[in-house]
Structure 1
Amino acid sequence: MQRRSRVDVRDPTGWIYQANIHGSPRDENPLRGWNSCQHRSFFFLSWHRMYLYRFERILRAASGDPGFALPYWNYSATGNRAIPASFRTPGGTSANPLYVQERAEGINQGALLPPSAVTFASAFRLTNFTARPGTSVSFGGGALRQPGQGTARTGELERQPHNIVHSMVGGPSGWMSYPETAARDPIFLLHHVNIDRLWKRWLDQGGGRGYPGRSEDEEAWWRFRFEFFDESGSPVQMTGEEITDTVLQLDYRYDDDPPPLPAVRFAGEIRAEARRPELAPSIRGASLAPVELGATPVSVLVEMPPRDVARLGTLASAEIVEARIVLRLEDIAFEQNPGVTYEVYLNLPEGMTPDYQSRYYVGNLGFFAARPGGHRHGPTGTLDEAFDVTAHVRAMVERGEWADVPPRVTFVMRGLIPPGGPGDPSRAPAVSALPAPRVTVGRVVIETE
């Protein structure tokens, strides 16, 4: 496929043309189907499944092996947090077409992703695929009636581990850090097959997990026709209705089953309402000043009246939760993709070593598909992130740790871990060959929705 691109970049079955379907650099004149990737909406998972399916069929035909299938990089498993060796052995494109230099410093020498960067626990606790109108937290992302029609909310699986892994493999200037170049790196394929696998594993847990509904807001997920190319280079179209059964419709399956993980029962999902009217958050607190993030941990108080802190504890303690408690990071700005990630903690006790396996860990902040100044790939808009912390508050209430004082949010930078270093970042400092990045969070908010 790479040789085809060197002969004719306009060949739809060539490597560069296929990569440019996901995204192309701005200095290139786009051809048919380029720059089509879907991010920050509920089209993210379905579009990438279609893209992988069509890419795999072209690659299988080019390989001459009718049994060829794309593998996945299971970076969440201990021992798998370095890029597979076959992708980082140098020798040039002719000797090893899986190797590229355009990656974060240390990645091609076997540096490890930090454990918190690859956890999917937050996504798996959610049971709703779509973020309903007026809400922000969901597994699959916010609904759009048509792709490109403004921006919706990022789904939790897209936010983590998808975005985090992209940025940490690519670093500040590598291909994987930006949608325009990400698919040029062969590791992109293994990363996205793993994301597709995690989607399947989430569904297999049951408990109300499923595909989007058929409401007016969600119908486009099923019906919108995305264009790709078949093995002969001819245009083909696919819809969400054609990719929901990977075995019967797409002829592939995965080799593992999902572990059970706890979920908070949420009234809006139990009632299965097709549409819930938008409501202003009933409880809200915010930090008083922007927070500058760097190499050392930093904490900020989320100011709110004691009565509202107590109300949050009461809400979270209900058997069936009527409204989620959401931690939101607003107006995030930075000069370039910092090539690191930040662990986010809620009410981390003073003096405790940050540990992503602790009960205070909320999730990670990443920067893939984000532009300096806070603009994302595609329709521009202020970069913000949302974390569902309902289960965290409930656990603190049960342990007697939820006091009527302003909640505190802590940010801890994590970089790549050198080969042979401790796999547990709680016993090692954040490692980065880069200067401390300049990242500012304009406001830290806790609210109900």
Structure 2
Amino acid sequence: MKLSSCLLMLGLFALLANTCNSHSKGGSTMASSKWEGWLSWFLLRDLAGITGPHTVGSGGGGPIQGPDLSQCRPEFPSYARPVGYCCVPPNSTIIDYQVLPPTSPLRIRRPAHTADPAYIAKYAEAIALMKALPDDDPRSFNNQARIHCAYCNNGHSQLGFPGLDLQIHYSWLFLPWHRFFLYFHERILGSLIGDPTFAIPFWNWDSPLGMSLPHMYEANSSSPLYSPNRDAAHQPLTTGRIIDLNYNGVYESPITAEEQIDINLKLMYRQMVSNGKTTSLFLGASYRAGDKPAPGLGSLETAPHGQVHAWTGDCKQPNCEDMGTFYTAAFDPIFFAHHGNLDRLWHVWKSSDAEHKNYDDVDFLEAAFFFYDENAQLVRVKIKDCLDEEMMGYTYQDVDLPWQTSRPTPASPRTRVNTEVTTELTVASFPVTLGEEAVSMRVKRTRLFRNAKEEEVLVVEGIEIDMGVYVKLDVYVNAPPGLEGMTPAASEFAGSFVSLPHRHGVMSKIVLRLGITDLLEDLEPEGDDNIVVTFVKRSGMGEIKIGWVFIEFIM
């Protein structure tokens, strides 16, 4: 027998033993050694058709090849409720994703708030059938939610790198992974009701008519679309509340619906236009095989992705379950409408400007994940297969985009930088610790002018936070005194860093990049060789540390 065959059999034995041990304990376990991790890599490499050299625990780049399904050890925030086997169910057979035939009907995703009774009934039936599937069926609603939990709560290592977490947030994986997740969810629902044209709705929270929790999700407590774990104060049938896309996770000062809509639209302009001028700013930083997680968020993940999650979840629960924390977010059906809108906005960004392009980096295009399809088959997908929605068989109904003309305006007249705010930054100044008080610092501009295609970017490196709590950090440039009431409607607001709770007791370092060209044009500091950057912690327990702050120019 060939050595490769012997190793394959040993790897299969290790995989099955580890899986059985996980189920027998009612939870999940981690491989006890690099040897076991190497065997599982060898097995899954053969099954998934992955070739090439591999060194256990080494970096070196290349596309991420997905999770190691033979090992699972998700991490949870404090007081997490039991959610079962929070892992991607293993399978001895993996098939490659196939592009749908061109004759397949195009599914059209429509705004949830416009849905008629017939559609709501069909959607509710599909979700009910998915929830009725047995728990050993990977297509079941709970297992689909657990797949999200596994990928988002560090359940699996990168395939080929035992012990190195795979995390699909905080990088260029965020939008593509969730696009595939919604895609297979939609295909399963359509299969269960025998309707290949069925399309999931999207929560149109970036437009005034869609800025409340859609009625289909909360009008009937007996509906499979309903969840009891939502913030009762945000239910539109009883409060008429408009969503706060700048939600701080704490007490909300009362403002009018018109004021909230204005803030929301200007925040959307900041994230989609000002902070979305380059591929890396919009999609997030590169994340390659062997890299540590969280190299940097894209603009939509920065905001309002996390704010919508937190606003929807029930903060009477320990971690604002369901939507307010990664491990339970996909147990609420509205998760899919929320991420449907994020997916739509990726489509809008790409189609709104010829300069907006997806990465052409092979490590982006060839990055792989595993999902279950409508036939309960484990499918290996690659990002290159999800960059054209129509090739995937779906599109979005066109809707108004009022945020496109909602550029923020300065909160105060143009003033020169206050050199007394703080001394100029030096390496010795860092890390900077943020408590309950705002912290301001002067940041040197490396150049006073840029060419037409360059974007001036404020980079905040090494944001160290407790991953077990909701964190929101607002960033301002050349802001006047008294930031308590300043909102994204002001040009001085550069953006936010937001993190949902998902890992108790773990401190993590993350990078935030904010495009500030529009902001500087509005505030007119072009002759100044410094800007004043102010950080305000809006939510989060304990201290937040910042490793370094600087300005760079990117194309």
TM-score for both structures, normalised by structure 2: 0.58
- The structural deviation recorded for 1:207 is 4.1
Q: Distance in 1 between matches of 2:490 and 2:405?
A: 16
Q: What does residue range 268-347 of structure 1 map to in structure 2 within 5 Å?
A: 289-293=432-436, 298-303=437-442, 308=444, 311=445, 314-315=447-448, 317-320=449-452, 324-328=456-460, 330-334=462-466, 336-338=468-470, 341-347=472-478
What is the match of residue 80 of structure 1?
210
Q: What does residue range 34-433 of structure 1 map to in structure 2 within 5 Å?
A: 38-89=168-219, 91=221, 95-104=222-231, 106-108=233-235, 110=239, 111-116=241-246, 119-124=267-272, 125=274, 126-130=276-280, 138-146=281-289, 150-170=293-313, 171=315, 172-213=319-360, 218-256=361-399, 289-293=432-436, 298-303=437-442, 308=444, 311=445, 314-315=447-448, 317-320=449-452, 324-328=456-460, 330-334=462-466, 336-338=468-470, 341-351=472-482, 353-368=485-500, 371=503, 375=507, 381-397=508-524, 407-411=532-536, 413=538
- The structure that is helix-richer by fraction is 2
Q: Distance in 1 between matches of 2:514 and 2:152?
A: 32
- The structural deviation recorded for 1:302 is 0.8
Q: Distance in 1 between matches of 2:365 and 2:271?
A: 22
- The structural deviation recorded for 1:104 is 3.6
Q: Distance in 1 between matches of 2:522 and 2:151?
A: 46
Deviation string, structure 1 residues 188-230 (Cα, Å, up to 9, x no partner): 00001000000011011224211112xxxx3132223322222
The change in CA–CA distance for 1:37 and 1:81 in structure 2 (over 3 A counts) is farther
Contact 1:167/1:368 (8 A) holds in 2: yes
What is the match of residue 277 of structure 1?
none
1:9 aligns with 2:159: no
What is the match of residue 21 of structure 1?
147
Deviation string, structure 1 residues 214-271 (Cα, Å, up to 9, x no partner): xxxx3132223322222221222322222222123323333237675799xxxxxxxx
- The structural deviation recorded for 1:5 is 4.8
2:348 is paired with a residue whose SS is helix
The change in CA–CA distance for 1:357 and 1:25 in structure 2 (over 3 A counts) is closer
Q: Distance in 2 between matches of 1:302 and 1:237?
A: 47
The change in CA–CA distance for 1:332 and 1:226 in structure 2 (over 3 A counts) is closer
- The structural deviation recorded for 1:79 is 4.3
Structure 2 unaligned runs (5+)?
Answer: 1-126, 160-164, 248-263, 408-424
Q: Distance in 2 between matches of 1:412 and 1:337?
A: 13
Amino acid aligned to 1:350: P
Q: Distance in 2 between matches of 1:7 and 1:54?
A: 16
2:479 is paired with a residue whose SS is coil
Corresponding pairs, count: 372
- The structural deviation recorded for 1:334 is 4.6
Q: Distance in 2 between matches of 1:406 and 1:147?
A: 36
- The structural deviation recorded for 1:23 is 1.3
2:392 is paired with a residue whose SS is coil
1:448 aligns with 2:551: yes
The change in CA–CA distance for 1:242 and 1:408 in structure 2 (over 3 A counts) is closer
- The structural deviation recorded for 1:120 is 3.0
Deviation string, structure 1 residues 333-385 (Cα, Å, up to 9, x no partner): 358534x745432222125741321111112332226545564xxxxx32453
1:358 is paired with a residue whose SS is coil
Contact 1:336/1:372 (8 A) holds in 2: yes
Q: Distance in 2 between matches of 1:395 and 1:220?
A: 37
- The structural deviation recorded for 1:128 is 2.4
Amino acid aligned to 2:270: S
Is the deviation greater in 251-260 or in 201-210? 251-260
The change in CA–CA distance for 1:204 and 1:369 in structure 2 (over 3 A counts) is farther
Q: Distance in 1 between matches of 2:374 and 2:166?
A: 19
The change in CA–CA distance for 1:100 and 1:358 in structure 2 (over 3 A counts) is same
Q: Distance in 2 between matches of 1:69 and 1:321?
A: 38
Contact 1:343/1:364 (8 A) holds in 2: yes
- The structural deviation recorded for 1:36 is 8.0
What is the match of residue 431 of structure 1?
none
Structure 1 unaligned runs (5+)?
Answer: 131-137, 264-282, 376-380, 414-435
- The structural deviation recorded for 1:446 is 3.4
Q: Distance in 1 between matches of 2:467 and 2:434?
A: 15
Cα RMSD after superposing both structures: 3.7
Amino acid aligned to 1:328: V
- The structural deviation recorded for 1:154 is 1.5
TM-score for both structures, normalised by structure 1: 0.71
2:513 is paired with a residue whose SS is strand
1:103 is paired with a residue whose SS is coil
1:366 is paired with a residue whose SS is strand
2:488 is paired with a residue whose SS is coil
Q: Distance in 2 between matches of 1:249 and 1:227?
A: 16
Deviation string, structure 1 residues 300-343 (Cα, Å, up to 9, x no partner): 22145xxx3xx45x53x4333767331527444358534x7454
2:176 is paired with a residue whose SS is helix
The change in CA–CA distance for 1:242 and 1:322 in structure 2 (over 3 A counts) is closer
Is the deviation greater in 325-334 or in 60-69? 325-334
Larger Cα-atom Rg: 2
- Percent identity, aligned pairs only, is 22
